[in-house]
Structure 1
Amino acid sequence: MGATALEFRLRMVVNVAIIVLGVWAPWVPVERRQYILEWLPREVTRAGLMPFSTAVTTTLIIAGLLAALGAILRVWGTASLGPATVTSLDMKSGPVVASGPYRYVRNPLYLGLWFMVAAIALLMQPSGAALAMPLLTLFVLRLTLGEEAFLSGRLGEPYRAYLRAVPRFLPRLRNNLPPSESTSQWGTAFLSELTPIGVLVGIVVFASTYNSGVMARIILIGWGASLIARAFLPRPQSESTSSA
């Protein structure tokens, strides 16, 4: 069930395709289009669960929390692993990284990606999100299983010990792993992860302006700036674990 080397190489293309499909939702007629950010508060109010203004505020808070989790995990994970390794087109193997978020969860980058797209899903049609999120979840799981098989074969028992000590997706705050000696690369990590940062900024702007067009432009600008920044990142000099 693990992803192939080609899937790993094309992971960004696949992720973007899933997001575009969810946002575009070509099967929804133009006159019936509505974002989840607009649809969900109305449905919650119609069900009598809370007043409309409270439902809107709650939806925006959820969106902001999802985006914040995505940005934090992506930036922190990239700073710990190294942006050049994160953006590599090939799986890398080397010393097991057990610092930063990798001390508590094995796949902070994939988890951050999932939270980021969940926040973006609030810009999708309900049926688009219902398709995009399961597709993304399945693809992230395939990537994770593929990397774990690759790294287990390359690194052997040290990595298998790491697998036993650190959960795949649900963080565990305590373990007996010795901390890894590594230097966090915060500056380049922020530049490399401008997409989730843009999603967070876009949702904050939307909460204050309720202008979905401005929010979408901010997200696109963040994505474009991230691509430019990544193009100028140095290539990894030595192999290390990779998860993006």
Structure 2
Amino acid sequence: MKATQFEFRFRVVIAFLLYVLGFWAPWARYLGGSGRVSTTWLELPGALASAHWLSLENATILVTVIALACAIKGTIFRVWGTAYLGTAIVHDKSMHGAGVVAAGPYRYTRNPLYMGTLIFAIAVSILMPPTGAIFFLAAQAIFYYRLILGEEAYLATQQGEAYLAYKQKVPRFWRSLRARVPAAPAKPQWLTSLLAESYYVGFTACFAILAWRYNAYLLIKCIIICFGASLVIRAILPQTPKHD
């Protein structure tokens, strides 16, 4: 089922609430019985070590490296996609369908921004309780899939055959290994994109530097600071998309 206009308009608020529920995981305080809530970053390496697949030290390093790789890859897709689509359109509360954007990452996947968000979410989820992480990743996948369906229906209505032809050639989600459509003339706005995606860029930098302290609470503080800073930056960036 596709997302409603309400969900699209308030997608940032809904995503924020999913973050809150993932970290809070109120149900975890009752399922375990002890009232103590751990993090996936602690529990997953412990499970790997208990299964005798890896030592606890190596398992912890492996989980940390995978999370860092997800943060980097997710951030790259976010910055790359925003650079070509435009900051104002990415952050606007209304859908836009003036024309097919067949440049940059949009030659390989139709939804680089959502793909980047979901890959990045894997990195964030290790800081949550295990059940919170499962909820967070599942809820994010469902929510963004609904947004994608809503946008596809809107673009098909606005652009007709042009979008349907693009849709047939370019994968919805997973990145194709080669470009599926010719490059459209477009000039990426890299600096503006980096600023607009400052939450992703900032947290990835924090994770790369601070993760080796293995302090989840320190990184959670980084999430809060980076998110707050990103809201300030977004407020001062140009917000003048062309409405359809």
**Are 1:67 and 1:200, in contact at CA under 8 Å, matched by a contact in 2?**
yes
Q: Which amino acid aligns with 2:95?
A: M
Distance 2:142 2:241 in 1: 32
| 1:214, distance to aligned residue in structure 2 (A) | 2.2
Distance 2:200 2:180 in 1: 31
| Residue 178 (structure 2) pairs with residue 208 (structure 1) | no
| Residue 10 (structure 2) pairs with residue 10 (structure 1) | yes
**Are 1:201 and 1:218, in contact at CA under 8 Å, matched by a contact in 2?**
no
Identify the match of residue 82 of structure 1 among 68, 82, 86.
86
1:187 equivalent in structure 2:
191
Distance 2:241 2:174 in 1: 31
**Are 2:21 and 2:136, in contact at CA under 8 Å, matched by a contact in 1?**
yes
| 1:28, distance to aligned residue in structure 2 (A) | 2.3
Instruction: Give RMSD over aligned pairs.
Output: 1.5
SS in 2 for 1:221: helix
Distance 1:17 1:237 in 2: 26
Distance 1:31 1:11 in 2: 32
1:220 equivalent in structure 2:
224
Identify the match of residue 198 of structure 1 among 198, 202, 207.
202
Q: Which amino acid aligns with 1:23?
A: F
| 1:178, distance to aligned residue in structure 2 (A) | 2.0
| 1:199, distance to aligned residue in structure 2 (A) | 2.5
| Residue 133 (structure 2) pairs with residue 129 (structure 1) | yes
Q: Which amino acid aligns with 1:181?
A: P
| 1:61, distance to aligned residue in structure 2 (A) | 0.6
1:28 equivalent in structure 2:
28
The gaps in structure 1 that reach 5 residues or longer are none
1:106 equivalent in structure 2:
110
Q: Give the TM-score taking structure 2 as reference length.
A: 0.94
Q: Give the TM-score taking structure 1 as reference length.
A: 0.94
Distance 2:179 2:81 in 1: 18
SS in 1 for 2:223: helix
| 1:31, distance to aligned residue in structure 2 (A) | 4.2
**Are 2:107 and 2:180, in contact at CA under 8 Å, matched by a contact in 1?**
no
2:172 equivalent in structure 1:
168
**Are 2:89 and 2:241, in contact at CA under 8 Å, matched by a contact in 1?**
no
Q: Which amino acid aligns with 2:206?
A: G
2:95 equivalent in structure 1:
91
The gaps in structure 2 that reach 5 residues or longer are none
SS in 1 for 2:153: helix
Distance 1:237 1:23 in 2: 34
Q: Deviations over 1:70-93 (max 9, x none)?
A: 110111100110101100000011
Distance 1:210 1:49 in 2: 21
Greater RCO structure (CA 8 Å; 6+ sep) = 1
Distance 1:198 1:31 in 2: 32
**Are 1:165 and 1:175, in contact at CA under 8 Å, matched by a contact in 2?**
no
Distance 1:236 1:172 in 2: 32
Distance 2:67 2:207 in 1: 7
**Are 1:3 and 1:142, in contact at CA under 8 Å, matched by a contact in 2?**
yes
Q: Which amino acid aligns with 1:59?
A: V
SS in 2 for 1:128: helix
Distance 1:56 1:176 in 2: 39
| 1:175, distance to aligned residue in structure 2 (A) | 4.3
SS in 2 for 1:39: helix
Identify if the C-alpha distance between structure 1 residues 207 and 175 changes in structure 2 by more than 3 Å, giving closer, same or farther.
closer
Distance 1:136 1:199 in 2: 18
